[in-house]
């Protein structure tokens, strides 16, 4: 599957520093020290509806990881999936009378446009679940031969007991896991499972559902977690730097993915850090496709809102915070964008070095975008109030804001 076009990233004087992030699995900070290649996997969309601001916030957060690493001189291997076959997609297609493939293609195309407009750098590998089926089958077969998977009426389940580290990503107790499993695509109530939490890896063919030849697994389709594991192992291998997504993916998705991979390879860990973005709410509740309280990036764009302002509105919130989208959030971002643009049009200004350093320091410190924006605000205020005589300083600030924050002035 193709990704979306890359925007150019200006190179800045000096070099960025190593990124320190909050890691869900340890509950604390990890300073990542990738080698030449830095490896990032971010869970992609399930394309049954348009990109909302919650998705946009999450992908913008991981775009900062990408940009910090580029600035620190790494070659970034970024991988993302598209869950282009799964229950919610099939249900929406059936409800609207659309072919599920057409729905997935239409929404994935819109997502690419939204990501391009928001200047989110594309992944190097963008892989669909359907494309990943040939990767999934041998993994499920191997887990079965290792005794880490079992069959139930033709479906194949992963046995969470097979990974000694199970629970080590989310650290939830059994009751909380059971509740979240039921809410987020699992089937803890199904009878005959070894452990109610065991997730499906291969779903045997059902009438009216798409299915593929699964070799010794029989006809069926892949489960959700094994899809991301197959894609991540294919393109990144074990022990990659960051596994990312919204905080709703910590359990079960990232927990199960880590256990699948650890049971498969006997290695630990699947990822060095599990990084989770907070959830964006609208009208009092988490913005979610199932609840329908959505503000779409594409709708705002159609209304003529500058996507740069949308990006600034997202960056005004720390990525780990849960926050609520309001019209005022957008208005504030539009005012900030006007102030910044007015400040960089002049050829001279206050010295820029401190601003570049401050943006770098803030982002390396757990992607603290609000602090980075405040540093640019202060520079822009000085420029407006007193100006400055450093030739080229506005250009330096403009390039730093573009390279590190993805904000084009
Ligand atoms: N396809 C799977 C991941 S493999 C999936 O969760 N798709 S999704 O379309 O439901 O979500 C895509 C990404 O957006 C996930 O990282 C999810 O955690 C994040 N996300 C969903 N809703 C919100 C929200 N309200 N705020 C922030 N991030 C969100
Ligand atoms: Zn995923």
What's the CA angle centered on 206, arms 204 and 207, to 5 degrees? 155
CA nearest ligand 1 atom 28, residue: 54
Q: Cα of 249 to ligand 1 centre, how many Å?
A: 7
Query: Residue 134: which residues within 8 A CB-CB, separation 6 or more?
Result: none
Per-residue tokens: 107? 């929404």
Query: Whose C-alpha lies nearest to ligand 1, atom 8?
Result: 45
Ligand 1 centroid–CA 55 distance in Å is 6
For every one of its 409 residues, what pLDDT tens digit does the chain have, with 9 covering 90 and above? 999 999 999 999 999 999 999 999 999 999 999 999 999 999 999 999 999 999 999 999 999 999 999 999 999 999 999 999 999 999 999 999 999 999 999 999 999 999 999 999 999 999 999 999 999 999 999 999 999 999 999 999 999 999 999 999 999 999 999 999 999 999 999 999 999 999 999 999 999 999 999 999 999 999 999 999 999 999 999 999 999 999 999 999 999 999 999 999 999 999 999 999 999 999 998 888 778 889 999 999 999 999 999 999 999 999 999 999 999 999 999 999 999 999 999 999 999 999 999 999 999 999 999 999 999 999 999 999 999 999 999 999 999 999 999 999 9
In angstroms, the CA 177 to CA 165 distance is: 15
Q: Which of 42, 43, 63 to mutate to test the pocket of ligand 1 (most atoms within 8 A of CB)?
A: 43
- The per-residue pLDDT for 190 is 98
pLDDT of 408 reads 97
For residues 197 and 182, give the distance between their C-alpha atoms in angstroms, rounded to a whole number: 9
Q: For a pocket test of ligand 1, which of 46, 55, 83 has the largest count of ligand atoms closer than 8 A to its C-beta?
A: 55
Residue 286 CA: nearest ligand 1 atom is 25
Q: Give CA–CA dist 387/343, Å, rounded.
A: 9
- Spatial distance between the Cα atoms of 30 and 164, rounded to a whole number of angstroms: 22
- DSSP per position, 270-313: SEEEEEEE--EEETTEE--TTTT---BHHHHHHTT--HHHHHHH
Instruction: Tell if the pTM clears 0.75, that is, is over it.
Output: yes
Question: In a 3-state reduction of DSSP, which class is residue 241?
Answer: strand
CB atoms within 5 A of ion ligand 2 belong to: 43, 228
Q: What is the Cα–Cα distance from 405 to 409, expressed in whole angstroms?
A: 11
Tell me the longest C-alpha to C-alpha distance in the chain. 76
pLDDT at 289: 75
Q: DSSP assignment, residue 233?
A: H
Residue 288: per-residue pLDDT: 83
Q: DSSP character for 200? A: E
CA atoms of 346 and 41, how far apart (whole Å): 40
**Which residue's CA lies nearest to atom 4 of ligand 1?**
43
Contacts of 43 (CB under 8 A, 6+ apart): 80, 81, 228, 244, 245, 249, 253
**248 CA to centre of ligand 1 in angstroms:** 7
- What confidence score (pLDDT) does residue 151 get? 98
């Amino acid at each position: 599957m193709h990704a979306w076009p890359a925007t150019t990233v200006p190179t800045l004087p000096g070099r960025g520093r190593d990124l320190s992030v909050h890691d869900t699995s340890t509950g604390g900070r990890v300073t990542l020290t990738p080698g030449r290649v830095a490896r990032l996997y971010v869970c992609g969309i399930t394309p049954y509806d348009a990109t909302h601001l919650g998705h946009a916030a999450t992908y913008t957060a991981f775009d900062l990881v990408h940009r910090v690493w580029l600035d620190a001189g790494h070659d970034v291997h970024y991988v993302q999936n598209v869950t282009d076959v799964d229950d919610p997609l099939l249900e929406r297609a059936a409800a609207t009378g659309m072919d599920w493939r057409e729905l997935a293609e239409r929404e994935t195309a819109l997502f690419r446009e939204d990501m391009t407009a928001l200047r989110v750098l594309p992944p190097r590998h963008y892989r669909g679940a359907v494309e990943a089926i040939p990767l999934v089958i041998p993994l499920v077969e191997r887990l079965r031969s290792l005794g880490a998977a079992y069959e139930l009426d033709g479906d194949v389940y992963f046995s969470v007991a097979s990974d000694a580290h199970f629970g080590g990503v989310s650290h939830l107790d059994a009751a909380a896991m059971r509740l979240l499993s039921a809410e987020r695509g699992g089937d803890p109530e199904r009878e005959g499972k070894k452990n109610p939490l065991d997730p499906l890896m291969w779903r045997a063919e059902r009438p009216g559902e798409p299915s593929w030849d699964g070799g010794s697994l029989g006809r069926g389709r892949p489960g959700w977690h094994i899809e991301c594991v197959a894609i991540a192992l294919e393109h990144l291998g074990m022990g990659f730097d960051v596994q990312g997504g919204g905080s709703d993916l910590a359990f079960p998705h990232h927990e199960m993915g880590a256990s699948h991979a650890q049971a498969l390879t006997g290695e630990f860990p699947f990822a060095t850090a599990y990084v989770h973005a907070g959830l964006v709410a609208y009208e009092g509740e988490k913005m979610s496709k199932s609840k329908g309280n959505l503000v779409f990036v594409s709708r705002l764009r159609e209304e003529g809102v500058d996507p740069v302002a949308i990006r600034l509105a997202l960056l005004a919130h720390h990525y780990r915070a849960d926050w609520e989208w309001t019209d005022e959030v957008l208005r504030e971002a539009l005012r900030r964008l006007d102030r910044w643009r007015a400040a960089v049009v002049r050829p001279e200004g206050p010295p820029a070095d401190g601003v570049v350093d401050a943006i770098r320091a803030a982002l390396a410190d757990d992607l603290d975008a609000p602090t980075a924006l405040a540093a640019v605000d202060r520079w822009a205020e000085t420029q407006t109030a007193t100006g400055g005589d450093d030739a080229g300083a506005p250009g330096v600030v403009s390039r730093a804001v573009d390279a590190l924050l993805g904000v084009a002035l």
